[in-house]
Copies of this chain bind each other. A is one copy, B any other.
Amino acid sequence: MGSVCSRPIGIRSASVDDAFWSAEQELVRTAVLPYQWKALNDQVPGAAPSYCMHNFRAAAAQNRRLSAQASKDGRGNAPTYTNRGFNCLPEDPSHPDPDKFYGYVFQDTDFSKWVEAVGYSLAHHPDEELERTADEAIETVCAAQLENGYLDTYYILNGMDRHFTDLKDHHELYCMGHLIEGAIAYYEGTGKTRLLHAAERFADYVASVFGPEPGRLHGYPGHEIAEMALVRLYETTGVRRYLDLASYFINQRGTEPLYFEQEDRERAEHDGVEYQPDTDWPRPYAYYQAHEPVADQRQAVGHAVRAGYLYAGAADVARLTGDGALDEAVHALWRDIVDRKLYITGGVGANADSESHSYAYDLPNDTGYCETCASVALVFFARRMLELDPRAEYGDVMELALYNNVLDGMALDGKSFFYGNPLEVRPQTRRNHDPRYSYVPIVRKKWFGCACCPPNLARLVESVQDYAYTVGEDGATVFTHLYIGGQVSLDLAGGPLTLCMHSDLPWSGGACATVRLGAGGGGGSLTARECTLAFRLPAWAGGEAAADCVKVHRSCADDAPITKRVSQGYLYLSGPWRDGDGIDFDFDMPVRAMAANPLVSQDAGRVALVRGPIVFCAEERDNGANLHLLHLDGRALLTDGRGIDKAHGGQVEVEPFTFMAGSAPDDPGAAGHVDQVSRPMVRLRVPAWRQSDSQAETRPLYEPWGPVVHEPATALLIPYFAWSNRGENEMRVFLDVG
* A interface residue numbers (CB < 8 A to B): 281-282, 338-340, 342, 344, 351, 353-354, 358-359, 362, 364, 367, 426, 428, 432-436, 592-601, 604-605, 607-608, 626, 628-629, 634, 637-639, 641-643, 691-693, 696-697, 699-707, 736-738
Contacts and interface: CB of A to CB of B under 8 A. Distances in A.
A642 B704 CA distance: 7
Given A359-B434, A592-B704, 20 more contacts: A344-B702, A353-B435, A353-B436, A358-B432, A358-B434, A362-B434, A426-B601, A593-B705, A594-B703, A594-B705, A595-B702, A595-B704, A596-B702, A600-B701, A604-B736, A605-B605, A605-B738, A608-B702, A641-B704, A642-B704
Contacts of A691: 598, 604
A703 B595 contact: yes
Contacts of A594: 702-705
B736 A434 contact: no
A436 B628 CA distance: 22
Contact of A342 (B433, B607, B641, B701): B701
A693 B599 contact: yes
B639 A593 contact: no
Contacts of A353: 435-436
A378 to B, nearest CB: 14
A391 to B, nearest CB: 15
A250 B85 CA distance: 45
Contacts of A592: 704
The 6 closest A-B pairs by CB, nearest first: A595-B705, A593-B705, A601-B628, A281-B433, A359-B432, A353-B435
8 contacts: A338-B701, A426-B601, A598-B626, A598-B692, A600-B701, A608-B702, A639-B705, A642-B704
B736 A605 contact: yes
A696 B428 contact: no
A364 to B, nearest CB: 8
A267 B177 CA distance: 49
A604 B691 CA distance: 9
B435 A354 contact: yes
A358 B700 CA distance: 18
Contacts of A596: 701-702
Nearest to A643: B704
A706 B634 CA distance: 8
Contacts of A593: 704-705
A648 to B, nearest CB: 10
A604 B693 CA distance: 11
Contacts of A628: 601, 604
A354 B434 CA distance: 10
A597 B641 contact: no
Contacts of A638: 706
Contacts of A601: 426, 626, 628
A594 B737 CA distance: 21
A361 to B, nearest CB: 8
Contacts of A634: 707
A642 B643 CA distance: 44
A628 B597 CA distance: 12
Nearest to A627: B601
Nearest to A608: B702
B705 A607 contact: yes
A621 B482 CA distance: 49
Nearest to A596: B702
Contacts of A597: 696, 699-703
B706 A435 contact: no
Given A354-B435, A639-B705, A598 B629 contact: yes
Contact of A639 (B342, B359, B629, B704): B704
Contacts of A639: 704-706
Nearest to A707: B634
B641 A626 contact: no
Nearest to A366: B601
A604 B629 CA distance: 7
A367 B436 contact: yes
A693 B361 CA distance: 13
Contacts of A344: 702
Contacts of A340: 701
A242 B434 CA distance: 39
Contacts of A434: 351, 358-359, 362
A601 B629 CA distance: 8
Contacts of A637: 705
A637 B428 CA distance: 33
A701 B335 CA distance: 10
Contacts of A701: 338-340, 342, 596-597, 600
Contacts of A697: 599
Given A607-B705, A628-B601, A637-B705, A351 B435 contact: yes
A432 B700 contact: no
Contacts of A338: 701
A433 B351 CA distance: 11
